[in-house]
Amino acid sequence: MPGRLAAFKSGWSHVHNEKQLHRQDYFRGAGNPFALLCEYPYNMSAGESRLAAIIEACRRQDRASQKELYQLFYSFTLAIAMRYTASTDEGREIVNDVFYRVFTKIDHYNPELPFKAWLHKVTVHTAIDYYRKYHHNTTQTSELADAMAVEVENAVFSRLSADELRALVQQLPPAYRMAINLYAIEGYNHQEIAGMMGITEGTSKSNLFKARARLKQLMLSQEVISK
């Protein structure tokens, strides 16, 4: 497997109920402009029975099956990871951490639930851990003071393609990028986000508001939209 696989980070939860695994499905309605970012490339040329066989072999630490699973879901996992990072290198590092967790904790996967949903959850939690390790103490500057006064409508974001919106989200400061991803895309509420990120609910709400305002500023400055 390419790249360095980082060691496990503490505090990762192994909760696998269906409400959590399929949370993002409830956020794909027409009213959520960020629903575009819930679609990921998925290279599943093998059928579900073949996938089950691959996973079973991975439980036995079969290296060939691990490589096959990695290749099947690399693009899917990277697409999720890239939403939480500012660069491809960071995204790939998260992907490597994800598959290290998958291969060493595959027994935590419940085969009665969709593997792709479980992998999605692992990826999100790995991205959170990456943020907590490298960006948690990053202080946001006051440059957003003017942005906070900007009224942000969903219709503004709805004008963008998935690629345009993804590129803008990647330009956000880390805390605001996390807020957009966890609330607007993954569908967690502010209480849940506060628990995962080690912040207050008020800070979570503030980060989301500032993130949306900053996105509109970026769109104006880059002439994605007109004033």
- Phi-psi region at 110: left, alpha or beta (left = phi > 0; alpha = psi -120 to 50): beta
pLDDT at 99: 97
Per-residue pLDDT of 114-167, as tens digits, reads 999 999 999 999 999 999 888 765 544 444 444 443 445 566 666 677 778 888
Per-residue pLDDT of 26-70, as tens digits, reads 344 445 555 555 555 555 555 788 999 999 999 999 999 999 999
Give the mean pLDDT of 108-112: 92
pLDDT at 34: 59
Question: Is the CATH number 1.10.1740.10 carried by domain 37-134?
Answer: yes
Least confident of 103-117, 157-171, 201-215: 157-171
Per-residue pLDDT of 68-80, as tens digits, reads 999 999 999 999 9
Domain ranges for the chain, please list them.
37-134, 142-221
Question: CA-CA distance, 211 to 193, in Å (whole number)?
Answer: 15
Q: C-alpha angle with apex 166: 102 to 148, nearest 5 degrees?
A: 115
Question: Is the CATH number 1.10.10.10 carried by domain 142-221?
Answer: yes
Distances (CA, A) of 82 to 24, 78, 94, 108, 147: 17, 6, 9, 25, 25
What residue type is 51 in one-letter code? Answer: L
Whole-model pTM: value is 0.71
